[in-house]
Structures are given as C-alpha cells and as structure tokens.
C-alpha cells in the first residue's frame, strides 16, 4: 500500500498505494517537471489515504481543487471483503460517481487501498499580490466578482483582527483593514492578462494594492517554507531520487542497458531498478534494489 506503481505522463496521474506519504508523490512528480498541486500544511507527514478519507484541501485549491477533484480511479475494499475499482473515466454521465461516496467517508464505507492522483505541469510563472480592504464586506464582493472572471491559485483573506496581529507579524502590514493575498499562475501570457483583470476588479472595491512584496512574503512563510522543509527532510533522510538510483545501479553493473524502469516502496524507502539489455533474441534483465541513502541492498538476474 506504500508503493508508487506508475507515473503516467499521458494520462497525467500517479498511481500509488494509499499508504504512500504525499511528499513522496510530490518529489516524484517534481523530478519529471510536474506537481501534485495539493499543498496542505500536513504534506510532509500525511498519506494519500488520509487525505482521501477526510476530503483534504490544500493552499492552492482555488485553482486546482480539493483532493476529491484530484482523485481519478480508486481501489476500495468493502466491509464484506469485496474489492472494487471505481470508473477509470475522470468524468462521466452514467450513474453516481463512486469516488465521491468513499472520499470523505473516513473508512466507514470501505478502505481505499490504491488511487490514481492527478499531476499538473509546473507553472511557467507564479505571481503574488497583496491587497488591503477597508472591511470584509468589500473583500467578499471583490472576490465574488473576480472568481467569475478567472480562478487564482491562492485567495487568502484575513479579517482586521488577524491582519493587525498575525499578518503584521508575518509580512509587516501595519495598517488597519482586511489583508488578502492572491496568487495567479500558468503560462506567462495568461498570467499577464489575469494580473490586469485582478487589478482592475479590486480597484473598483477600493482595495489598496500593496504590490508583490507582501504576497511573496506570505508565500515564503506559508508556501515555500513548507517546500524548504521537504527539501531539508529530503537531505536529512538521505533521500535518493529515481535518477540517482538508476545511476548507482548502472555504475555498479558497469554495463549499458536498452531499457530502465524504477519503482519505489515509500514505506521502506527502497528503489527497485530494473535494467534490460537485448541482443537479438536474448534478453538480460537485472534488478537492483537501492535504499534512500544510496546503498545497494541486492542485485539479482531475472530469468
């Protein structure tokens, strides 16, 4: 239940056991230029199954959705022991969506054992903008109108009391009012258009444009800091990526191979590298297991 079974770049999903820690899913996606776009504060320690069971939500959910928007197909064990798979079609018009029955049920209707989770291209550009509204009512109205035009990745609003205490401490806003941070991202051309729409819309409701500095400070505190923790854990744990594991296996075997595949057991922190060399009708297959510290645990020839 902890393994990464497949990274499907055509279908844009990662298939994994629900015991996998979500930070491992994110690392594997990042290695190929993708992201899970599910960044809750518990990213470093919670499992795929945990997020599915309680219907989790992350910091960029305004644009990318909650965990129930990111789950494609799931394998579920029912109370009577039957094992079912939900529909592989991400959207369909035939009967109920079984994913939505089990997601958020906290194990009361069945145990989710495997899932296909969406991955996304990492954005070409991500911009931030901080705003100060005179009150919550004008902030609500501006937000409502903006969401009819486009969906930012982050839309975080703080009431005047939070702005005067928490936000003052984090980003240095010392003016009265309600602070809002907005992030918008994607290809550069679209980001330019969205920024103009954002500024024009919020100006109508009297928002003071604080520029990008405050928004970037907020992201560093609440967003990038979490990613830095992940990177620190990655080093502290001696984390070896799939490309590292392949290099270690190839260096050890001192041979070139025609095909290389990897799989990762997140529970044990072990990569399995399968190398195949073809010569006419003959095929030589070697399996090498590498731990997260880069140590080779085993090498076997597959018949």
Domain range for 117 is 3-121
User: Does one domain contain both 168 and 266?
Assistant: no
Provide the β-strand partners of residue 275.
260, 286
pLDDT at 234: 47
CATH of the domain at 182: 3.30.70.3450
Least confident interval from 15-19, 135-139, 276-280: 276-280
Positive/negative CA dihedral, 88, 92, 94, 100:
positive
Question: How many helices and strands, by DSSP H and E, does the chain display?
Answer: 12, 15
User: Does one domain contain both 111 and 21?
Assistant: yes
Domain final residue, candidates 185, 216, 235: 235
Positive/negative CA dihedral, 10, 11, 12, 13:
negative
- Predicted confidence (pLDDT) per residue in 247-283, tens digit: 888 888 877 777 888 887 755 668 888 888 877 777 8
Domain final residue, candidates 121, 148, 163: 121
User: Does one domain contain both 137 and 223?
Assistant: yes
Non-local (6+) Cβ contacts of 27 within 8 A are 230, 234, 239, 241
Q: Alpha carbon 221 to chain centroid distance?
A: 18
User: Does one domain contain both 155 and 109?
Assistant: no
Domain final residue, candidates 235, 266, 287: 235
- Predicted confidence (pLDDT) per residue in 142-195, tens digit: 999 999 999 999 999 989 888 887 777 767 777 889 999 999 999 999 999 999
Q: How many domains does the chain have?
A: 3
User: Does one domain contain both 89 and 180?
Assistant: no
User: Does one domain contain both 111 and 142?
Assistant: no
How far apart are alpha carbons 47 and 164 in whole angstroms?
35
Q: Do 25 and 4 form a contact (C-beta atoms < 8 A)?
A: yes
CATH of the domain at 44: 3.30.465.10
User: Does one domain contain both 182 and 248?
Assistant: no
Higher pLDDT residue, 268 or 91? 91
Radius of gyration of the chain (CA): 23
User: Does one domain contain both 101 and 153?
Assistant: no
* Residue where the block lists tokens 């399996």: 287
Higher pLDDT residue, 232 or 104? 104
H helix runs in the chain, sequence order: 22-31, 48-54, 61-64, 67-70, 98-102, 136-147, 160-162, 168-171, 188-204, 211-219, 225-236, 242-253
Q: Helix (H, G, I), strand (E, B), or coil: what is residue 57?
A: coil
Q: What pTM did the predictor assign?
A: 0.70
Instruction: Print burial letters for 48-75: b (CB count within 10 Å at least 16), e (below 16).
Output: bbbbbbeebbbbbbbbbbbbbebbbbbb
How far apart are alpha carbons 9 and 119 in whole angstroms?
9
β-pair type (13-17, 3-8): antiparallel
User: Does one domain contain both 112 and 130?
Assistant: no
Q: Quick one: residue 204, left, alpha or beta (phi over 0 = left, psi -120 to 50 = alpha)?
A: alpha
Q: pLDDT band at 98, cuts 50/70/90?
A: very high
User: Does one domain contain both 159 and 214?
Assistant: yes
User: Does one domain contain both 231 and 246?
Assistant: no
User: Does one domain contain both 90 and 36?
Assistant: yes
């Amino acid at each position: 239940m902890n393994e990464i079974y497949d990274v499907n770049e055509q279908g844009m999903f990662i298939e994994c056991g629900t015991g996998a820690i979500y930070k491992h899913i994110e690392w594997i996606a990042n290695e190929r230029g993708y992201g899970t776009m599910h960044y809750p504060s518990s990213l470093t320690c919670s499992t795929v199954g945990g997020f599915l069971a309680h219907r989790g939500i992350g910091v960029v959910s305004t644009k990318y959705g909650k965990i129930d928007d990111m789950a494609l197909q799931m394998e579920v064990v029912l109370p009577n022991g039957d094992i079912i798979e939900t529909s592989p079609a991400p959207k369909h018009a035939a009967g109920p969506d079984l994913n939505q029955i089990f997601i958020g049920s906290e194990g009361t209707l069945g145990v989710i054992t495997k899932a296909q989770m969406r991955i996304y291209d990492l954005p070409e550009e991500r911009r931030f903008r901080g705003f100060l509204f005179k009150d919550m009512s004008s902030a609500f109205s501006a937000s409502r109108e903006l969401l009819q035009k486009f969906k930012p990745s982050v839309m975080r609003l703080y009431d005047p009391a939070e702005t005067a205490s928490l936000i003052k401490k984090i980003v240095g806003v010392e003016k009265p009012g309600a602070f809002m941070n907005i992030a918008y991202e994607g290809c550069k051309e679209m980001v330019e258009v969205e920024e103009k729409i954002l500024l024009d819309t919020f100006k109508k409701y009297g928002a003071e444009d604080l520029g990008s500095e405050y928004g970037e400070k907020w992201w560093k505190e609440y967003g990038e800091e979490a990613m830095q923790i992940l990177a620190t854990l990655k080093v502290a744990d001696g984390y070896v990526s799939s490309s590292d594991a392949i290099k270690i296996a190839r260096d050890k075997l001192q041979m070139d191979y025609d095909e290389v595949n990897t799989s990762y057991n997140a529970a044990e922190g072990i990569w399995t590298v399968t190398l195949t060399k073809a010569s006419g009708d003959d095929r030589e297959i070697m399996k090498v297991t590498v731990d997260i510290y880069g140590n080779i645990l085993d090498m076997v020839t597959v018949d």
